[in-house]
Amino acid sequence: MQTVTHLTPDFAVAGELSDADFEEAAASGFKAIINNRPDGEAPGQPTAASQKAIAEKHGLQYVHIPVNQANIFSDSVVGAMADTLAKLDGPILAHCKSGMRSAIVWAAASARTRPVAEVEKILSQGPFDLSFLHDELEQQAAHAAGTETA
């Protein structure tokens, strides 16, 4: 199975999942998969539709929230992640190519409901250096509070 990094007890990230990884995820106690990879990002990459079928075969909930560099902090992506995190049963495993985009989108969504310092502390314990996110996390918190500025 891909290396899984738990950001919280109910949320983890990983790189691209193989068919066998879905079975292992279910056996490991995950209840849901979030796919943050856009279809067609790389040749030979599984489609969201094929991954949804595999997830459902193993009793996993499945949500596709495609993320790329241009939309990673957009309200459509961050809002969809926040809504999805609130609705899905955990633990949740989110994946992209390396796990980093999934961690970033989780952080942006979490900054809308948790103190930014708490989100940053969680991120600092993972394998990715995401210290550059501070300003964006503050903007997400301001958005949630209705105090953002243009």
Residue with structure tokens 């899984």?
4
Please tell me the distance from the alpha carbon of residue 27 to that of residue 14, in angstroms, as a whole number: 16
93 DSSP β-pair partners: 12, 33
Task: Label each residue of 20-53 as H, E or C.
Answer: HHHHHHHHCCCCEEEECCCCCCCCCCCCHHHHHH
> Which candidate, 63, 81, 64, 85, places its Cα nearest to that of 72?
81
Q: Which amino acid is at 134?
A: H
Mean pLDDT value across the chain: 94
Task: Label each residue of 101-125 as H, E or C.
Answer: HHHHHHHHHHCCCCCHHHHHHHHHC
Q: What is the mean pLDDT of residues 44-64?
A: 97
What DSSP element (H or E) covers 100?
helix 100-110
> Which candidate, 2, 64, 7, 5, places its Cα nearest to that of 33?
64
Q: Where are the domains of the chain?
A: 4-148
pLDDT in the model for residue 148? 61
What digits encode the pLDDT tens for the residues 2-50?
799 999 999 999 999 999 999 999 999 999 999 999 999 999 899 999 9
| Fold of the domain spanning 4-148 | Protein-Tyrosine Phosphatase; Chain A (3.90.190)
